[in-house]
Amino acid sequence: MRWRQGFVRYDRMITYFSDRLLPGRALRSEGQRLPETIGRAMVGGVATLVGQRLDAGVEDELPALIPQAVQFVLTPYLGAKRAKRVAVGSS
């Protein structure tokens, strides 16, 4: 049953961070609807990336991945060009 506790914590974390992305859905132009699950998918992708690095013992790689992770998460909301500008800090 320990796995269930772990899953509940993981799900709470995904929900917490994906809820922070909800306002981004309003940034899309009318007629360009994002799936309701987009936030969970983006956060889940980043959580997997972090988990893999931690499991492999290469957590020192994580800071270098921040711009790529930010761009990945923001692309559905802002478009590729704007997301890249935000990710590298030249919004």
Distances (CA, A) of 75 to 12, 42, 51, 55, 86: 24, 10, 22, 27, 10
Single pTM value for the model? 0.83
Res. 3: pLDDT tops 90: no
- DSSP state, residue 57: T
Res. 39: pLDDT tops 90: yes
Average pLDDT, the chain: 90
The Cα 53–Cα 60 span in angstroms is 8
The Cα 2–Cα 50 span in angstroms is 21
- Per-domain residue ranges for the chain? 2-25+35-87
